[in-house]
Structure 1
Amino acid sequence: MNDADPDFADMTLDELRIALAPEIAASAIFDGWNETALLAAADMAGADPDIAKLAFPDKPLGGRAMDMIEAWIASVDQKMEAAWPQDRLAELKIRERIRTLIAFRLEAVTDVDEAVRRAMSIMAMPQHAPRSLQLGWRSADLMWRLAGDTATDYNHYTKRTILAGIYSATLAVFVNDDSEGKAKTYEFLDRRIDGVMKFEKAKAKLTKRNVELPSLTRFLGRLRYPSR
Structure 2
Amino acid sequence: MTDQDRLLDAALTHAVFDGWSDRTLAAARAECGMTEAEAKAIFPRGAVDMALAYHRRGDLRMVTLLEAEDLSAMRFRDRIGHAVRLRLELADKDLVRRGLSLLALPHHAGEGARALWNTSDLIWTTLGDTSRDINWYTKRASLSAVYSSTVLFWLGDTSEGNAATWAFLDRRIDNVMQFEKAKAKFRDSKLADAFLKGPGRILDTIRAPGEGREDYPGRWHPEDKA
Q: CA RMSD in A?
A: 2.5
The CA deviation at 1:88 is 2.9
The higher relative CO (CA closer than 8 Å, separation ≥ 6) is in: 1
1:118 match:
98
One-letter code of the match for 1:183?
A
Contact 1:22 1:75 in 2 (8 A): no
**Map of 1:134 onto structure 2:** 114
Among 199, 209, 219, the alignment partner of 2:179 is 199
Aligned match of 1:183: 163
User: Whole-Å Cα distance in 1 between the matches of residues 109 and 80 of structure 2?
Assistant: 25
Unaligned runs of 5+ in 2: 198-226
User: Match for residue 215 of structure 2?
Assistant: none
**1:17 CA displacement:** 3.0
Relative to structure 1, is the Cα distance of residues 91 and 23 closer, same or farther in structure 2, using a 3 angstrom cutoff?
farther
CA contact (8 A) 2:187 2:193 kept: no
Q: Name the residue aligned to 2:223.
A: none
* Structure number with higher helix proportion: 1
Residue of structure 2 aligned with 1:96, choices 67, 78, 95: 78
Query: Is the Cα–Cα contact under 8 Å of residues 66 and 122 in structure 1 kept in the other structure?
Result: yes
TM-score normalised by the chain length of structure 2? 0.76
| Aligned counterparts of 1:159 and 1:24: Cα–Cα separation in 2 | 34
Task: Pick closer, same or farther for the CA change 1:217–1:40 going to 2, 3 Å.
Answer: closer
Matched, 1:49 2:34: yes
Taking the TM superposition and a 5 Å limit, the aligned residue runs for 1:57-72 are 57=44, 59=45, 64-72=46-54
CA distance in 2, matches of 1:122, 1:192: 26
Normalising by structure 1, what TM-score?
A: 0.76
- Distance in structure 2 (CA, Å) of the matches to 1:42 and 1:217: 57
Distance, in Å, in 1 between the alignment partners of 2:196 and 2:121 is 35
Unaligned regions of 5+ residues in structure 1, if any? 1-6, 219-228
Equivalent position of 2:126 in the other structure? 146
Partner amino acid for 1:74?
Answer: R
**SS where residue 156 of structure 2 aligns?**
coil
